Amino acid sequence: MPAPRSARGFLGWLLAPERRGPLLIAPAIATLVIVNIFPLLWSYGLSFFSYNAKKIGVPPRWRGLDNYVDLFTDEDVWGRFQNTAVIVIGSVAVQLVVGFLLALLFAREFPLRRYLLMLVLAPMMLSLSAVGVFFKLFYEPTFGFIPRLVQTFTGEPFVILSTPVKATIAIVFADAWMWSPFVMLLVLAGLVSVPKYLYEAAEIDRASAWRRFRTITFPYIRSLLLLALLFRTIETFKIFDVPYVLTEGGPGTSTETISVYLFRVAFNYFQTGRASALGYIVLFGVIVLTSLYLYAIQSRSSESIE
């Protein structure tokens, strides 16, 4: 790693101080190019072909833009995007509200806080597939905890996954349970970053609680709330494990998200070309969202420098 200035030739050139950065970064970039970028470029190519990954002997057939045209005109695809959008909007909204309330609860120091925080933070560290299995057991109409609990009050069997609306709510519930602590963490970070003297000043001004929140607290958590919103939107947009395990996309196809649909197109229907094209459309969405997220990160850090 050191760059002996006396060294000559190629090695000397390579180890010159101005190449230090690139040299250190090269292995990481190389790994990503080989394992991630190259396959993606390859599938970009495939997205213009009709190809079935299961039929080894049959070469890809050129289709031009037809895969994309088909996708944009396919009602099924739009339906899956809608399913995903509904779950994203529902789940992220719930996460923001619940996460915010949890943050208020834990904003002050109190005895045993650290231990109780652990209980609340645990869900988001669990495996998505494990959470899917949890809720599959909780929702089971005959033996499951939630249906039985409801039945003791209503006397009627309670079947959660029976209609598109209820099944969507069931998925939103599971996902929001898992990820509200994430929002809580971000909001907590915002709450504690408010300088104490601002509150003291407000105290002197006898500002109302609402006014204090709006003018002092909120500006500090605003940027973090935005980050939470964007981050959770990106992550929920990709949701796969929970619906895959919990509802298999049912009833019918009403909870089949775009990721589950991609999985079906690629590995049930084995339309590899079409799946690649759809993958690219999804990837484009993620790139846009990620840029927004990083933009928000940067404006937040420049804000705090001011």
Partner 1 sequence: MSQREVRSIGTAGWGRTLTAAIISLIYFFPVLFIILTAFKSRQDALAWPVKFIFTPTVTNFVSVFYRTTVEGGEAEATGFGLYFFNSLFIGGSSVLLALIIGTSAAYAFSRFPLKGNETYLFMILTTRMMPPIVAIIPIFVLFRIFGLSGTYVGIIALYTAFNLPFSVWMVKSFFDDLDRDIEDAARMDGSSEWKVFRKICLPQVYAGLAATFVFAIILTWNEFVFALLLTGTQTRTVPVQIVRTIGGSMGVDWGLMSALETLFIIPVVLVTFALQNQLLRGVTFGTIRR
Partner 2 sequence: MKGLKFSIAAAAITAGAVLGGAFTAAPASAKDVIINMAAPDWQPTRFMQEEFNRTYKSKTGNNVKLVIDFIPWPSFYQRVAASLSSGEKKYQMIVTDSQWMGDFVEGGHYLKLNKYIDADPELQAVIADMHQVLKDTSSSYPYKSTNYYGFPQFPDNMVTFYRTDLFCNAKERAAFKAKYKKALPCYYHEWQDVDWNQWGNIGEFFTRKKGSALGDGKADDDFYGIAYQAGKGYDFSTSQIHTMIWDAGGDIWDETDTKPASGVINSAVNVKAMEQFLDLLKWSPPVAKTGQMDIFVIQDLYMQGKVAAIVDWVGVAGPVIDPKASKVADKSAFAQAPGTRKSDGTINRSSNIGGQPFVLTTWNNDEVIHEALDVVKWWLSKPVQTKFVREGGGQSGMLSVLNDPGYATWSPFARAFADNIQWQKDMWHIPEFFPLLTQQQEQFDKAITGQISAKQALDSVAAYQDKTLKEAGRIK
Give the interface with partner 2 as residue ranges (CB under 8 A). 53-57, 140-143, 147, 157-164, 167, 247-254, 264, 267-270
Whether residue 43 contacts residue 262, with contact meaning beta carbons closer than 8 Å, is answered with: no
Q: How far is the CB of 249 from partner 1 (least distance, A)?
A: 13
Query: Among partner 1, partner 2, none, what binds residue 36 when CB lies within 5 to 8 Å by partner kind?
Result: partner 1
Nearest to 64 by CA among 47, 42, 51: 47
Shortest distance in whole angstroms from residue 84 CB to partner 1: 11
Pairwise CA distance, residues 125 & 118, whole Å:
11
Name the DSSP class of 81. Answer: H
Closer residue to partner 2, CB minimum distance, 99 or 249: 249
CA distances from 243 to 127, 176, 180 (A): 14, 13, 18
- What's the min distance (Å) between Cβ of 45 and partner 2? 19
State the amino acid at position 51 in one-letter form: Y
> Nearest approach, Cβ of 80 to partner 2 (angstroms)?
12
Peptide bond into 251 cis (omega under 30): yes
> Which does residue 12 touch among partner 2, partner 1, none (CB within 5 to 8 A, set by kind)?
none
Between 22 and 157, name the residue whose CB sits nearer to partner 2: 157
Q: Which does 85 bind (CB under 5 to 8 A by kind): partner 2, partner 1, none?
A: none
> Which residues are CB-neighbours of 292 under 8 A, at least 6 positions away?
230
- How many CB atoms lie under 10 A from the CB of residue 180? 25
CB of 106 vs partner 1, minimal distance in Å: 7
Do 78 and 251 form a contact (C-beta atoms < 8 A)?
no
Residue 159 touches which of partner 2, partner 1, none (CB < 5 to 8 A by kind)? Answer: partner 2
Cβ closer to partner 2: 178 or 260? Answer: 260
Comparison of 101 and 159: residue with beta carbon closer to partner 2 = 159
Partner that binds at residue 49, options partner 2, partner 1, none, CB closer than 5 to 8 Å by kind: none
- Shortest Å distance, C-beta 283 to partner 1: 5
CA distance 296 to 260: 29
Instruction: Indicate the residue type of 235.
Output: E
Closer to partner 2 by CB, 44 or 270: give it.
270
The one of partner 2, partner 1, none whose footprint includes residue 147, by CB under 5 to 8 A per kind, is partner 2
- For 195, which DSSP code? -
> Of 288, 166, 295, 302, nearest to 234 (Cα)?
288
C-beta closer to partner 2: residue 160 or 262: 160
